[in-house]
Structure 1
């Protein structure tokens, strides 16, 4: 039963990744239909992420009251309804409304499943969980590219994704008894969990006073902002700067997420040989090399390998930074600090892509790679400074 439930959780995380990458792939085609400025995609992305932040902040009490299975079921239904809403939206204002619904659904799924796996399954399953998110994020642009290239249009792409999500809703509804059976089993570390809950609910605790926390939050903000920005604006960069057609550009973005997915699968094995800190550093340098390749006057044949290289570099950074949290700050404090880091990550994904889009509308989308370089360098500086400061404390 535990294995069956784990498979369902993996499927749910695939569904979480599907809509995360689809807007950037579809936007060049959507922009023409709605006669919207280039920066409007950044606004939609910010609205989705704001809804995600709100639902994540509220999810703790909701999960305790209703359980992960029910919350995941309702959240997936909201996500499916939002994707269907994109399909039928007659105006840009309707896209904004359904972006709110999409964010509210996604945040609860993300928080609930990460928490559930952390408490009921062994640690290596967390790496595979984020790998399955990558599968969804890779499949989304592929589906959208197919519908755009076949002249069915971006709306048909959203309809296909909505149907897939509604199928998952049905699976989750049937599997509700499995969640209840698993929930009755005692947590593997109830003492630590109780201490974490106590620390998290202590009004006198101040994570900002702990050395390195602010830098860690900046690292998460820089990373998630960079990852989201490449996914959102990479397609527009290839269309407007490199002269690609929208369907090819959408396919290229799927290879970017494919690089993240394959990289995280590999990371799960490499972690037996290398420390999380080394994987973080290596990932930052690899992604930096990839984005520099985009700027060099190289033939178009180098664009796809460069994008895959960025994805491979990004792959280990987020899960390894999560894994480093108790190493850096201790097991008890990490329960509170983890929440602060995730919040910073969502803020980065909300603000940074929107800021890049706004800047591009005033200047040019050609500035996009320079922003990514600055974010990677900022991430590199903060993560290494954390290591050095904690090493000498």
Structure 2
């Protein structure tokens, strides 16, 4: 059961990535057919992000009531329906209407799957699963390119991915009973102690954890800030790196585009490689090493040297450094805050992630319009520093809480 369900989760992570890059890949053609300006994509992505944030916050409550298997199936089904809706849309307002279930489906399944993997599987699988998300995100632009190049139209690409999502929905519905049969494994040596059932060895079932309760847990605000900073950094680099290379460093547009895509490919490859060492070195080392590697890459991008090779190498290095941070933060959540509260916290982390990804790129766009594109390395560097400082502070808070709890246990035993 363990291996069968794990294989299904890998497929589910590929499906998570498939819709994520469809809008960007097809929008240069879509906006003309829909009769709206190129900048209208911002409205569409904001609606999708809003739905994703809302469903991320509700994911823990829904999963406690329906179970992770059913929430995953329903969420993927909502995404499939939205993709078919996109494929039949003949006006921009119709696309905006379908963007809401598009985002709602993505947020709920993202939080539910990430929490399930953090509780039940080793750190290597968390990295490899997020690498498979990158595979899905890389495949869909090729589907869109083929559809447009073959004269089938952008709607055909949405329809094709919708069929894939619909097929996965059926498989997920048939496998709902599997999700409760996998025994949890220990996440790290820093696991927060909680009462356990003596016969089953698992935590007792508890109720929904309210948002206000979660936010009062020591360290939660720190991890939200660190996650916000990382996702803001990643999305800003993906959107603006090529423009920075062309407009400020005078790099050839084709070369800049290629290396801009290598940042995303570096994340995908880096997560695959990180999986081989994740269980040995632990989540903390992955997060710390990732931020430091990004910092080194940003420094290389900023160096005022005559050759472009240094800046291009720095961009690839930053992509590799970004790779393990997202999965490591997610995987460390049950260890840092306890298994009972992990889903609620991961849901809020997803919301913080999407908020950072949504807000940071346009903020930089506004700043660069006022001050110049030279600001990009400083902007990224500030986000790296913020993420590193908050994550290190989180480690101290968790260690202090663990030490205080151990002291209290010793006192009670005496």
Pairs aligned (count): 385
Does residue 214 (structure 1) correspond to residue 211 (structure 2)? The answer is no
Distance 2:293 2:62 in 1: 40
Equivalents in 1 of 2:230, 2:240: separation in Å?
A: 15
Shift in CA distance, 83/370, structure 1 to aligned 2, threshold 3 Å: farther
1:166-194 per-residue CA deviation (whole Å, 9 max, x = no partner) reads: 124214314533332x1453754874865
Instruction: Select between 327-336 and 108-117 the one with higher mean Cα deviation.
Output: 327-336
Match of residue 333 from structure 2 = 325
**Residue pairs, 1:324-363, within 5 angstroms:** 324-331=332-339, 334=342, 336-360=344-368
Give 1:219 deviation, angstroms: 0.4
* Segment drifting more, 310-319 vs 127-136: 127-136
Per the TM alignment, residue 93 of structure 1 is displaced from its structure 2 partner at its CA by 4.1
- In the TM superposition, residue 314 of structure 1 has moved relative to its aligned partner by 0.7
* Contact 1:142/1:251, CA 8 A, preserved across alignment: no
Counterpart check, 1:276 vs 2:283: yes
Structure 1 residue 130: Cα displacement: 1.6
Secondary structure, aligned partner of 1:229: helix
1:256 alignment counterpart = 263
Cα RMSD after superposing both structures = 3.8
Whole-angstrom distance in 1 between the partners of 2:368 and 2:91: 23
Comparing 357-366 and 99-108, the one that deviates more: 357-366
Q: 109-118 vs 354-363, which deviates more? A: 354-363
Structure 1 counterpart of 2:379: 371
**Per-residue deviation, residues 139-163 of structure 1 (Å, max 9, x unmatched):** 3445556677x5969x63x643541
Residue of 176, 181, 184 corresponding to 1:185? 181
Matches of 1:362 and 1:44, distance apart in 2: 25
Could you tell me which runs of 5 or more consecutive residues in structure 1 were left unpaired when the two chains were aligned. none
Cα distance, 1:284 vs structure 2? 0.8
Q: Unmatched 5+ residue regions in structure 2?
A: 186-195, 402-414
Cα distance in 1, alignment partners of residues 256 and 94 from structure 2: 26
Query: Residue 255 of structure 1 contacts residue 304 of structure 1 at CA under 8 Å; is this kept in 2?
Result: no
CA distance in 1, matches of 2:113, 2:286: 24
Moved more, 349-358 or 372-381: 349-358
Equivalent in the alignment of 1:287: 294
CA distance in 2, matches of 1:305, 1:152: 37
CA distance in 2, matches of 1:91, 1:239: 34
Range with greater deviation from structure 2 (343-352 or 56-65): 56-65
Distance 2:147 2:334 in 1: 44
1:231 corresponding residue in structure 2: 238
SS in 1 for 2:181: coil
Alpha-carbon distance between aligned partners in 2 of 1:259 and 1:348, rounded to the nearest angstrom? 21
Distance in structure 1 (CA, Å) of the matches to 2:122 and 2:378: 39
Secondary structure of 1:201's match?
Answer: coil
Deviates further, 18-27 or 161-170:
18-27
- The answer on whether the counterparts of 2:53 and 2:354 sit within 8 Å (CA) in structure 1 is yes
Q: Could you tell me how far 1:21 is from its partner in structure 2? A: 3.7
d(CA) in 1 for partners of 2:303, 2:143: 30
Farther-moved stretch of structure 1 (68-77 vs 99-108): 68-77
Using the TM superposition, give the Cα deviation of residue 230 of structure 1 relative to its aligned residue in structure 2, in angstroms: 2.5
Instruction: Note closer, same or farther for the CA distance 1:122–1:294 as it changes in structure 2 (3 Å cut).
Output: closer
Q: In 2, are the aligned partners of 1:225 and 1:353 still within 8 Å (CA)? A: yes
Do 2:60 and 2:344's aligned partners in 1 also have CA atoms closer than 8 Å? no
Larger radius of gyration: 2
The range that moved more, 279-288 or 26-35, is 26-35
**Contact 2:125 2:275 survives alignment (8 Å):** no
- C-alpha displacement of 1:255: 2.4
Change (3 A) 1:372 1:80: farther
Q: How far apart in 2 are the matches of 1:99 and 1:202?
A: 28
Query: C-alpha separation between the residues in 2 aligned to 1:74 and 1:234?
Result: 36
Identify if the C-alpha distance between structure 1 residues 2 and 385 changes in structure 2 by more than 3 Å, giving closer, same or farther: closer
